[in-house]
Amino acid sequence: MIRCSPTYLVLVCAALLGSCADRHGGVEQVPLESMRASAAQATDDMATFLSQVCTYASIEQEGPQLLPQTQALLDVVLQKGQQFGFKARRANGGLVGILEYGSGKEVVGAVVHLDVVPSGDLSQWQHAPFSGDIADGKVFGRGAQDDKGALVGVLWGAKILIDDGMTFTRKLRIILGTKEETSFEDVFGYLAEEPPPDFGIVPDGPFIIRGESGYTDLAYGFPGVGTPADATRDTAVYWQGGTVTNSVPDFSFVVLRSQDPAAARSEIESLITQVKAEFTRGDKVPDLSVVDFATFAADHDVSAVPPGDLVLFSRGLAAHSSVPDLGRNAIVEVALVGARMTQLSANAFRSGFAFVDQKIGVSTDGSGFALNTEKPIPEAANTTASLDLAATVLAADRLDLTINFRVGVANTSAEVREKSGAAAAAYGGTVRNVGTPFDAYYYPDGDPLLDLAIESYREVRGMDPLVLDVGATTYVKAFPNTISYGPVDLTQDGLYFHEVNEQMPIASLTRNAVLFANMLQKMIQSPTALRHG
């Protein structure tokens, strides 16, 4: 046995510790090289888990309950977190899942959401939207990017820090939302119960977002959907389009009754040709058709639809409502034809067609409502407008048209409501808010959390990130002192949010685990709390 003095043992132990870990203010750090090795080793597990969570059709609705698919998914994610060493719980009556690790008075948050938007036109998917198929080095499925891909990156990024022994000087809290695509009522209720994290990330977009447009959904109601006493040759009796208020609608149809169906069909076919010629934008050609009601009914569920003689319909191109110019709006295309029909009876539908044709058209900037365009911050996002829902409310004798506005810094949600509501009033319409409106935000150069995100990304990737201002709305608007950080690299992954064939490259899961591990480590070990302003 070799005997050593206590002083010698202390010096030897300190030397050994210093050789095994980097030091930052006396706190152990996980080196980037270790993060990369751990992420590479976990790649197959990450792909398998992303595939699994993509099989859950977590298409939520507003309200205090979760659908069975979302309940089951939340259980799976909480169980996975427990396997990784987290404490798991639920909040807000079960609408929110919580995973926590570490201790400390301050809390670093990572906020993701488990719900997804509907699939849209299934015929356009190369892999079924809830198959979770793995093919060509990618995981396919609704939510693969938005936001289940972010979930995987954050979970495994945190697991790397836990497994490699990083000292947690702050508590890490992963918050799992379930109503992000609808109402935010999940996190609003949660924040009414307990304080938000001191600072953190909301991974729900590209790397890195410094600002988001405001958000407001406005429904314009036009009364009188029945056939008027002084009906002319053609009367619209039903209009439907879209599935959710944050996706450009890819299908819309109008049911028409006519005293002379052959003449009406001939006119509509001529108008379709006219609209195609007038409103084609590059490769975006309106895709309109008119068929008899029986033919349409053979291919679509019309059990709740009043019968008619003809059906005018459009197949649009889905896109995220924050970038509506990337899609083709099926509701708008139907309205462009309807507004040009010469013998259409005066009711709610004719008013709605005229409103859409004259105040919206194929523009996506809200210019028909005289909104401001001079931005106080030149690089900030513009206001956009996407007409996402057309609904005939037979019981209320009303047509509802719902527009999703992404409100730029040059405008406010209140201003958008005032100006667009005045425009609708000229066509006999009224306006009401759907959900909670938000105004825009923008984090300037020198913001401490933005600077940390840029620094962390640069360390991992060896290059500067894109720093974007976008039209999206995420949980950043609900959680103070947070920043949108990933999971998408636009140059490598493509952006498939709310689009068909949503996918995430498996190689990007490996990359993201390192990006999230490094960012979480920096936030947890930051000498000071990071606060905006």
* Count of domains for the chain: 2
Amino acid occupying residue 218: L
In a domain, 8, yes or no: no
Residue 367 burial (C-beta neighbours within 10 Å; 0-12, 13-18, 19+): middle
Sign of CA dihedral 31, 34, 36, 42: negative
Q: Examine the domain organization and report whether 89 and 191 are in the same domain.
A: yes
Cβ neighbour number for residue 93 with a 10 Å cutoff: 13
Residue 472 and residue 519 in one domain: yes
Question: ω into residue 147 within 30 of 0, thus cis?
Answer: yes
Question: Angle at which helices 506-525 and 148-163 pack, to 10 degrees?
Answer: 60
Domain boundary residue, one of 438, 470, 502: 438
Instruction: Please report whether residue 469 resides in a domain.
Output: yes
Residues 6+ apart with CB under 8 A from 27: 167, 169, 525
Residues 247, 258: one domain? yes
Are 355 and 371 found together in one domain?
A: yes
Buried/exposed 61-92: b ≥16 CB within 10 Å, e otherwise: eeeeebbebbeebbebbbebbeebebebeebb
Last residue of a domain, one of 438, 457, 479: 438
Q: Give the range of the structural domain holding residue 122, as residue numbers without chain letter.
A: 22-213+442-525
In this structure, are strands 27-29 and 107-113 parallel, antiparallel, or unpaired? unpaired
Provide the 8-state DSSP code for 238: E
In a domain, 7, yes or no: no
Answer whether 105's CB lies under 8 Å from 142's CB.
Answer: no
Which of the listed residues 405, 420, 438 is the one where a domain comes to its end?
438
CATH number at residue 411: 3.30.70.360
Q: Can you give the pLDDT at residue 59?
A: 97
Do the domain assignments include residue 132?
Answer: yes
Residue 67 in tokens = 């659908």
Could you give the CA distance from residue 486 to residue 493 in angstroms, rounded to a whole number? Answer: 11
Cis peptide bond upstream of 208, omega within 30: yes
Together in a domain, 459 and 348 = no
Q: Do both 431 and 463 map to the same domain?
A: no
SS3 137: coil
- Whether residue 350 sits in one domain with residue 327: yes
Residues 257 and 148 both lie in one domain: no
CA distance linking residue 232 with residue 29, whole number of Å: 77
Q: Say if residue 68 is in the same domain as residue 199.
A: yes
Asked if 349 and 446 sit in the same domain, the reply is no
- Tell me, yes or no, whether 373 lies in a domain: yes
What is the pLDDT at residue 533?
Answer: 62
**Concatenated DSSP letters of 26-93:** TEEE--HHHHHHHHHHTHHHHHHHHHHHTTS-----SSSS--HHHHHHHHHHHHHHHHTT-EEEEEGG
Q: Give the whole-angstrom CA distance, residue 312 versus residue 253.
A: 6
Residues 501 and 126: beta-carbon distance below 8 Å: yes
Instruction: Identify the pLDDT of residue 365.
Output: 92
Residues 453 and 402 in one domain: no
Say what the pTM is: 0.75
Please give the backbone phi and psi of residue 324, each rounded to the nearest 5 degrees, phi first. Answer: -65, -25
6 domain-assigned: no
Per-residue pLDDT of the chain (533 residues; tens, 9 = 90+): 333 333 333 333 333 333 334 433 435 899 999 999 999 999 999 999 999 999 999 999 999 999 999 999 999 999 999 999 999 999 999 999 999 999 989 999 999 999 999 998 899 999 999 999 999 999 999 999 999 999 999 999 999 999 999 999 999 999 999 999 998 999 999 999 999 999 999 999 999 999 999 999 999 999 999 999 999 999 999 999 999 898 999 999 999 999 999 999 999 999 999 999 999 999 999 999 999 999 999 999 999 999 999 999 999 999 989 899 999 999 999 999 999 999 999 999 999 999 999 999 999 999 999 998 888 888 888 899 999 999 999 999 999 999 999 999 889 999 999 999 999 999 999 999 998 899 899 999 999 999 999 999 999 999 999 999 988 889 999 999 999 999 999 999 999 999 999 999 999 999 999 999 999 999 999 999 998 76
Any domain includes 16: no
232 belongs to a structural domain: yes
Strands 107-113, 310-315: pairing is unpaired
CATH number, domain with residue 114: 3.40.630.10
Contacts of 356 (CB under 8 A, 6+ apart): 331, 332, 335, 336, 339, 387, 401
**Are 84 and 97 in a shared domain?**
yes
**Separation CA 213–CA 402 (nearest Å):** 18
